[in-house]
């Protein structure tokens, strides 16, 4: 029988194979997932299909709470992201919030080049704000590829700041909850994550951490 390419049969077949494999390796795996969700990590990343958040760090289902959007942006008026952040911090008690961007990000490229894409242009305005704020660093790059790389990194740094300045994280720190916000960048060409030297565990650490991360990115052009 010829397969109907419009249905989801291939995905359903792969799902059954995956579930069988997980059960064969660990018969109690799904029962544990039902009874408890206690991830240590909250991942805020890009929606890009080439960046599989849990998979690229070798974690299993239940190990990471995830929010993804175009260009991994954290906006103080985005109730979707803020709700995920609030639930992750207050209910799940995550210890680490990871903002992860990636090189060759289509959203960042569009923001850099002022490419028109319709509705997404309004969202990418936030990345263009980052571009404008750090124009000196970006303009010092020798070519467009490096400009995109630098803006991808700078965007992560600015979104880490936004996470740290949310009422969710500020209130968590005020009540003594241990939460650390990190900035990472993923390289699709080799599958490796890089630390952007940004790790904030208290409000008083933010400025120094921010300045160090920005200085490191600026130095990459030399």
Point out the catalytic residue in the list 46, 81, 152, 164.
46
Point out the catalytic residue in the list 16, 26, 32, 50.
50
Point out the catalytic residue in the list 100, 105, 152, 164.
105
Active site residue 46: yes
Alpha carbons 145 and 192: distance in angstroms, whole number: 18
Two structure tokens written together for 160: 């880490």
Q: Length of the chain in residues, anyone?
A: 222
Q: What are phi and psi of 186, to 5 degrees?
A: -110, 135
Active site residue 32: no
Point out the catalytic residue in the list 67, 102, 131, 182.
102
Active site residue 50: yes
Q: Which residue has the tokens 């020798």?
A: 142
> Count of CB atoms within 10 A of residue 67's CB?
23
Which residues lie closer than 8 Å to 79 by C-beta, 6 or more apart? none
The pairing of beta strand 64-69 with beta strand 192-200: unpaired
Active site residues: 46, 48, 50, 102, 105
């Amino acid at each position: 029988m010829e397969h109907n390419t419009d249905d989801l049969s291939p995905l359903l077949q792969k799902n059954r194979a995956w579930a069988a494999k997980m059960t064969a390796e660990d018969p109690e795996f799904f029962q544990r997932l039902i009874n408890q969700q206690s991830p240590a990590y909250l991942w805020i990343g890009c929606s890009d299909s080439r960046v599989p958040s849990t998979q690229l760090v070798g974690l299993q289902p239940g190990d990471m709470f995830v929010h993804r959007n175009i260009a991994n942006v954290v906006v103080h008026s985005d109730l979707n992201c803020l709700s995920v952040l609030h639930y992750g911090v207050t209910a799940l008690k995550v210890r680490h919030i990871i903002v992860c961007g990636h090189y060759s990000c289509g959203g960042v490229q569009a923001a850099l080049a002022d490419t028109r894409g319709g509705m997404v242009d309004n969202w990418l305005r936030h990345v263009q704000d980052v571009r404008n704020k750090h124009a000196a660093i970006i303009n010092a790059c020798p070519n467009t590829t490096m400009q995109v790389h630098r803006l991808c990194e700078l965007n992560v740094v600015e979104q880490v700041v936004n996470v740290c300045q949310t009422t969710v994280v500020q209130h968590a720190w005020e009540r003594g909850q241990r939460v650390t916000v990190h900035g990472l960048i993923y390289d699709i060409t080799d599958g490796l994550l890089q630390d952007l030297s940004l790790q904030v565990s208290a409000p008083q650490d933010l400025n120094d951490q921010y300045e160090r991360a920005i200085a490191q990115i600026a130095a990459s052009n030399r």
